[in-house]
Amino acid sequence: MIPPAGDVDAVAFWDALAEGTLLVAECGACGHRWLPPLPTCPRCAARDVTLAPAPASGSLYSWTVVHLAADPAYRAEVPYAVGLVTLDDGTRLYGRIVGVDRAELRDGLPLRVVVRRVDDQPIWTFEPT
C-alpha cells in the first residue's frame, strides 16, 4: 500500500507506520475498528474517529497466492501470499504473509504484525508467531 498524496485523514496513520506502529481507526460512538483511516465510521457514520494501536497478533482468516505482481516492487517475490487476518481485537486487515511456506497456510494460523519497508515505504506484513 502506497501512501496517497494529499490524504489529510491518513497523515498520522502513515507517520506512525513509518515509526513502526500500525494504527487502526476506531469509532468512539460504536467501537468499530477499521482500515484505511476515514473521517467517519463506515458502520454508523459517526465523526468521533481516533487512531489506536492495532493488536500485535491475530490469526489467518483467509488468503490467496499472488502469481502476477501488480506493483513492480514485488515482481521478484512472486508467488507470495496475501491474507485476511483477524487481529486479537476482532479487526480484520489484509496484508502480505511472510516467513511461512505457502503449503503451511491454514485457517487460524497464528500471526503477528510486523512493519517493514519496501522501496522506502512502510508497510505492514504478517509473520507466524
Return the pLDDT at 58: 98
φ/ψ region of 119 (left if φ > 0, alpha if ψ in -120 to 50, else beta) reads: left
Q: What distance in Å separates the CA atoms of residue 9 and residue 4, rounded to the nearest whole number? A: 10
Q: Which positions ≥6 away from 109 have C-beta within 8 Å? A: 59, 60, 100, 128
Return the pLDDT at 68: 95
Return the pLDDT at 2: 57
Return the pLDDT at 104: 96
Residues 37 and 93 in one domain: no
Residues 106 and 65 in one domain: yes
Q: Which positions ≥6 away from 80 have C-beta within 8 Å? A: 65, 66, 69, 74, 96, 97, 98
pLDDT tens digit at each of 129 positions of the chain: 555 566 777 889 999 999 999 999 999 999 999 988 899 999 999 999 999 999 999 999 999 999 999 888 788 989 999 999 999 999 999 999 999 999 999 999 999 999 999 878 899 999 999
Residues 33 and 69 in one domain: no
Return the pLDDT at 9: 76
DSSP 38-100: -SS-TTT--S-EEEEEPPSEEEEEEEEEESS-SSGGGGGG-SEEEEEEEETTS-EEEEEE-SS
CATH (domain of 64): 2.40.50
Residues 41 and 3 in one domain: yes
CATH (domain of 18): 2.20.28
Residue 80 sits in which domain range? 55-129
Return the pLDDT at 71: 83
Residues 69 and 113 in one domain: yes
Q: How many domains does the chain have?
A: 2
